[in-house]
Amino acid sequence: MFVLAAVAIPREAFWAHALAGSLLLGVIVLAELPAGFVARRMIVEVPILIFALLLPFVGRGETTQVVGLTLSVEGLWGAWTILAKATLGVGASIVVSATSTVPDLIRALGRLHVPRVITAIAGFMVRYLDIVAGEFSRRRVAMASRGYEPRWLWQGGPLAQSAGSLFIRSFERGERVHQAMVARGFSGRIPVYGAEKATPGQWLAGLSVPGAMVTLAVLSLTVP
Amino acid sequence: MHIPDGFLNGATSAGTAVVAAGSVGLSIRKAGAYLQDNMIALTGLVAAFVFALQMLNFPVGAGTSGHLLGGALAVILVGPWLGITAMSVVVIIQALLFADGGVTALGPNVLNMAVITGLAGWSLFRVMIRLLPKSWVSVTVATFTAALVSVVASSVAFVLEYGFGGRGNVELGTVFAAMVGVHFIIGIGEGLISAATVAAVGAARPELIAGLGGAGITSQGSRPIRSGVWGFAFSGLVVAALLVLVVAPLASSEPDGLERVTADQGLIESAEEHVLAESPLAEYEVDGVEDEAAGTRVAGVVGVLVTFGIGAAIVGVFVVLRKRSATTV
């Protein structure tokens, strides 16, 4: 909801974006997330930032002069919009993912009526991601300890070989897991656990930030 | 590339989300029918495998690095339905848990990186396997091409989405050149790694490769993937569409041989205008679409579909006639 509201704010409303940014910052401080952690997670945004920064230079339409450079107006607006909204979105996602455990997040997705198939697969994926990634990195360590550290693309042969055997092992692990589940009585239906209801206080706390954002968005859309 | 929030307008995000949801839903249902109760664990493991592989970065020059997407590899190894389902779960979790891709951009992200890569990779692989001689070299070549095209197709889809509703009003040709160019290079890397991985799996357990018609699963309740005529037709359509979307706009706009010669000889003035010159798709352009490249693409896609439709209808008529004559014997 936070992200939807952020995307809905019209691009001209600088004040709304600034308020939203400070709201997000406040939440980050409240959640006691270390600044370096948040910064590192925000690195995923970098390719988009590069794209956004290039927009004023390659945009069409009317142009203005800024510091001696001819920049496209539409491009400037586009760059600002992307930067602002993407940063808000990424920040919100980081807060959510950093403050909730993964099982909770997946359960939450199920509560939001994401199909149970997807949440079940996601649960399995996250559960075995550590194992599979760990196996992969152990192979790379094994290769490195035998003196092979590929840096260039054409040196990737043995790496792909280990990827291939990793696939076979993951596949067979999947089948073993399934057989273990069947042996313990799995009938094909995914059970739903942890149906504890949230207290009104938790609801209020949870809705406070998105609620503030929605109010902000509505205000920015109605008040010119 | 993972699209963030605020990049595309609401209509494009919503539209692509609908298409993505439909495709993923279809994939889940088909995968469930194919695997029955084994589906969850196996798809989860395949998704974990793809996720682990996506941590493989390789440099593509100019200080950037690309990473493996894994869409084509996934569908070649486990089939289209399982592959697309696993890939969409990977993309969804990346967006929700790792902030890699906006929540409001889940539609286009899933469509580009799961559905389109899976479909393009699978179709191209199956077509090439049928056409090439039966050897492991052809499997490697087919995997490489399928992976390369899947990445390029994904970036073309991104460019199309940007054309419909992207911010910044950049010349579509510029976006196309930049995006597709970079992703072509990334695609080469993806192709090499995918081909080598499939070769490695083929050397050890070739019966696991779904793309080669392997059973893929050793447990109960599974059957090998058979595509049949419609599968081939669909794959052919996808390849044709890809050629139209990717290659055709790059075609030279210089006059062809006949036009050139007649122009040189002064004969071109006596040429009459084509009877259908006023039709909506004349000259491979579309009325109302100003961008010439986009017009070419739309006209090309329409042409492919119409040709396919007419061809299928003609074949269908012959098939019906033959059946009729056979039963009168």
ipTM for the whole predicted complex goes beyond 0.85: no
Q: What percent of chain B has pLDDT over 90?
A: 5
Q: Dihedral through CA B181, CA B183, CA B186, CA B188, nearest 10?
A: -70
Q: What is the mean pLDDT of chain B?
A: 74
Residue B141 reports pLDDT greater than 50:
yes
- Band (pLDDT 50/70/90 cuts) for residue B250 is low
Whole-model pTM?
Answer: 0.70
pLDDT score, position B260: 64
Chain B residues in contact with A125 (beta carbon < 8 A): 44-45, 47-48, 51, 86, 89-90, 93
User: Running DSSP on this structure, what letter comes out for residue B213?
Assistant: T
Alpha helices (runs of H) in chain A, residue ranges in sequence order: 2-8, 14-30, 35-41, 46-58, 73-99, 102-111, 116-145, 157-183, 200-222
Contact between A164 and B32 using a beta-carbon 8 Å cutoff:
no
Q: Which domains does chain B have, with CATH numbers?
A: 10-227 (1.10.1760.20)
Distance between CA atoms of residues A100 and B240, nearest Å: 46
Distance (Å) of CA A72 to CA A55, A85, B167, B319: 8, 20, 12, 59
Contact assessment for residue B79 and residue B121, using Cβ atoms and an 8 Å cutoff: no
Contact between B45 and A173 using a beta-carbon 8 Å cutoff:
yes
Task: Give the pLDDT mean for A195-219.
Answer: 71
Stretch 196-215 of chain A: residues touching chain B, C-beta under 8 Å: none
Quote the minimal CA–CA distance from A19 to chain B in Å.
Answer: 17
Q: Six-digit token pair at B5?
A: 């929030």
Residue A187 reports pLDDT greater than 70:
yes
- Band (pLDDT 50/70/90 cuts) for residue B219 is very low
| Structure confidence by residue, pLDDT tens digits, B20-54 | 888 888 888 887 776 666 667 778 888 888 888 88
Contact assessment for residue A203 and residue B85, using Cβ atoms and an 8 Å cutoff: no
Counting other chains too, the contacts that A94-99 makes at CB distance below 8 Å and 24 or more residues apart are A94/A33, A94/A38, A94/A41, A94/A42, A94/B99, A95/A24, A95/A27, A95/A28, A95/A31, A95/A33, A96/B96, A97/B96, A97/B97, A97/B98, A97/B99, A98/A31, A98/A33, A98/A37, A98/A38, A98/A41, A99/A31, A99/A33
| Structure confidence by residue, pLDDT tens digits, A61-88 | 666 666 666 666 766 777 777 777 777 7
Report DSSP letters for B278-318, one per residue: TSTTGGG--TT---HHHHHHHHHHHHHHHHHHHHHHHHHHH
Q: Which of A52, A152, A171 sits opposite B45 (nearest CB)?
A: A171
Residue B252 reports pLDDT greater than 60:
no
Compare B60 and A64 and report the one with higher pLDDT: A64
Angle at B45 between CA A179 and CA B79, to 5 degrees: 100
What distance, in Å, lies between the first and last C-alpha atoms of chain A? 23
Q: What percent of chain A has pLDDT over 90?
A: 0
Stretch 39-58 of chain A: residues touching chain B, C-beta under 8 Å: 41-42, 44-45, 47-48, 52, 55, 58
Distance between CA atoms of residues B180 and B47, nearest Å: 26
Residue B100 reports pLDDT greater than 70:
yes
CB pairs under 8 A between A and B: 258
Residue B184 reports pLDDT greater than 80:
yes
Task: Give the pLDDT mean for A80-106.
Answer: 76
Closest by CA position to A19, among listed A64, A80, A84 = A84
- Band (pLDDT 50/70/90 cuts) for residue A224 is low
- Per-domain residue ranges of chain A: 2-99+197-222, 107-183
Q: What percent of chain B has pLDDT over 70?
A: 61
**Beta bridge mates, A59:** B170
Distance between CA atoms of residues A112 and B307, nearest Å: 44
Contact assessment for residue B48 and residue A132, using Cβ atoms and an 8 Å cutoff: yes
Task: Give the pLDDT mean for A141-160.
Answer: 77
Cα B109 vs. chain centroid, distance in angstroms? 14
- Band (pLDDT 50/70/90 cuts) for residue B147 is very high
Main-chain dihedrals φ then ψ at residue A57, nearest 5 degrees: -85, -30
User: Running DSSP on this structure, what letter comes out for residue B171?
Assistant: -
- Band (pLDDT 50/70/90 cuts) for residue B2 is confident
Pairing state of beta strands B64-67 and B57-61? antiparallel
What distance, in Å, lies between the first and last C-alpha atoms of chain B? 60
Reduce the DSSP state of residue A206 to 3 states and report it.
helix
Distance between CA atoms of residues B214 and B216, nearest Å: 5
Q: Is B324 exposed, middle or buried (0-12, 13-18, 19+ CB in 10 A)?
A: exposed
Residue B223 reports pLDDT greater than 50:
no
Residue B294 reports pLDDT greater than 50:
yes
Chain B residues in contact with A41 (beta carbon < 8 A): 98-99
pLDDT score, position B175: 74
Q: What is the mean pLDDT of chain A?
A: 74
The structure tokens 């199956």 sit at B126
